[in-house]
C-alpha cells in the first residue's frame, strides 16, 4: 500500500472525508513554498498536491498559470521540486504527496530516471493531466510498477462509454473535476456534483475526490459531503500571489480543512 492508500483507509475507518491542498512548487520562491508545504499537515491537509511548474499549463486558469511562471522565473526546476519533497520527508514520513502537472518535464528527464528519483524523494502519486489512458504505456504503467499511484481526472463530459477507460489502471483516488473548463473558472455546486460522483462510485471502489471551483469552508463542506473529499488549489495559490504571510495562508487552509472534515 502507498501512503495514499493508507491515508484513505484510515479516513474510512474514522468516517472522515479527505481534504487535499494544492500548491505550486517554487512559488513565490523555493524557501517560502517549502515552508508552506511543511505547514500543511498541521493545518489539516490529508494529501498534498505539489504542482510541477511548466511553461504551457493548458488545464490551469490564470492564477495557477502565473504561479508557474513565478516559480520558473525564480529558477524552479523539476530537480528542485523533487528536492522539496525530500526536504519535506525529513520531518514527515506520513503525509501523502502527489506531483501534479504535465508530461513534458518528465519526458525530458526520462521516465525511468524520473520514477526512480521521485520514489527516492518520497513521492506517492502522479497526476499528469495531458496523458490520456491511450498513452498508459508511456508513464502510467511504469509508475504503477514503481509503486506510485497514477491518479486520473474525470470531468462532467466523461460519459458512460469513456469512464471505464479513465478508470483503467487508475489507483490511489479518482480526481473529479467539478466544472467544465480551467481551474478557478467557476464555483463548484454540490447539487450538480452529487449525481456525477454517485455515477462514478457505482463503477469503482476508488475514493472520488472533487476539485476545481472550491474557495470557501462552506463549499468544501458541501462538496466533501457528496464525495470522499475536496481539493482546493486556486484559492490557496491566490494568497501566495498576494504575498500573504505563510501563517495567514495556513490559517486559511485550516478553515478549508475544517470545512471538509465537518462533512
Encode pLDDT of 5-44 as tens digits: 999 999 999 999 999 999 999 999 999 999 999 999 999 9
Considering the candidates 60, 117, 136, 228, report the single residue annotated as catalytic. 60
Tell me the sheet residues that pair with 51.
24, 100
pLDDT of residue 185: 58
The model's pTM is: 0.96
Look at residue 97 and tell me whether its pLDDT is greater than 80: yes
Nearest to 249 by CA among 22, 93, 92: 22
Residues of the chain with pLDDT > 70, as a percent, come to 97
pLDDT digits (tens, 9 = 90+) for 39-92: 999 999 999 999 999 999 888 889 999 999 999 999 999 999 999 999 999 999
Catalytic, 56? Answer no
pLDDT digits (tens, 9 = 90+) for 210-245: 998 899 999 999 999 999 999 999 999 999 999 999
Catalytic, 83? Answer no
Considering the candidates 49, 117, 124, 136, report the single residue annotated as catalytic. 49
Asked if residues 239 and 247 have their Cβ atoms less than 8 Å apart, the reply is no
DSSP string for 67-124: HHHHHHHTT--HHHHHHHHHHHHTT-SSS-EEEEE-HHHHHHH-HHHHHHHHHHHT--
Amino acid at each position: 500500500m502507498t501512503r495514499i492508500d493508507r491515508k484513505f483507509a484510515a479516513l474510512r475507518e474514522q468516517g472522515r472525508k479527505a481534504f487535499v491542498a494544492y500548491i505550486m512548487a517554487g512559488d513565490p520562491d523555493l524557501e517560502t513554498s517549502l515552508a508552506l508545504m511543511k505547514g500543511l499537515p498541521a493545518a489539516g491537509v490529508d494529501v498534498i498536491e505539489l504542482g510541477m511548474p511548466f511553461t504551457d499549463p493548458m488545464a490551469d486558469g490564470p492564477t495557477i498559470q502565473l504561479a508557474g511562471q513565478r516559480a520558473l522565473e525564480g529558477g524552479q526546476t523539476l530537480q528542485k521540486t523533487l528536492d522539496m519533497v525530500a526536504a519535506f520527508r525529513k520531518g514527515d514520513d506520513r503525509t501523502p504527496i502527489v506531483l501534479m502537472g504535465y508530461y513534458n518535464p518528465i519526458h525530458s528527464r526520462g521516465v525511468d530516471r524520473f520514477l526512480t528519483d521521485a520514489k527516492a524523494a518520497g513521492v506517492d502519486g502522479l497526476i499528469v493531466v495531458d496523458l490520456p489512458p491511450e498513452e498508459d504505456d508511456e508513464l502510467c504503467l511504469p509508475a504503477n510498477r514503481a509503486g506510485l499511484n497514477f491518479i486520473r481526472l474525470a470531468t462532467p463530459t466523461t460519459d458512460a462509454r469513456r469512464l471505464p477507460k479513465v478508470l483503467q489502471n487508475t489507483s490511489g483516488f479518482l480526481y473529479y473535476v467539478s466544472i467544465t473548463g480551467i481551474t478557478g473558472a467557476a464555483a463548484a455546486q454540490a447539487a450538480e456534483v452529487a449525481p456525477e460522483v454517485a455515477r462514478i462510485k457505482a463503477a469503482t471502489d476508488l475514493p472520488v475526490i472533487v476539485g476545481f471551483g472550491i474557495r470557501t469552508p462552506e463549499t468544501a463542506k458541501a462538496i466533501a459531503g457528496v464525495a470522499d473529499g475536496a481539493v482546493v488549489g486556486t484559492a490557496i495559490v491566490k494568497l501566495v500571489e498576494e504575498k500573504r504571510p505563510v501563517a495567514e495562508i495556513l490559517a486559511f487552509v485550516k478553515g478549508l480543512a475544517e470545512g471538509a472534515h465537518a462533512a
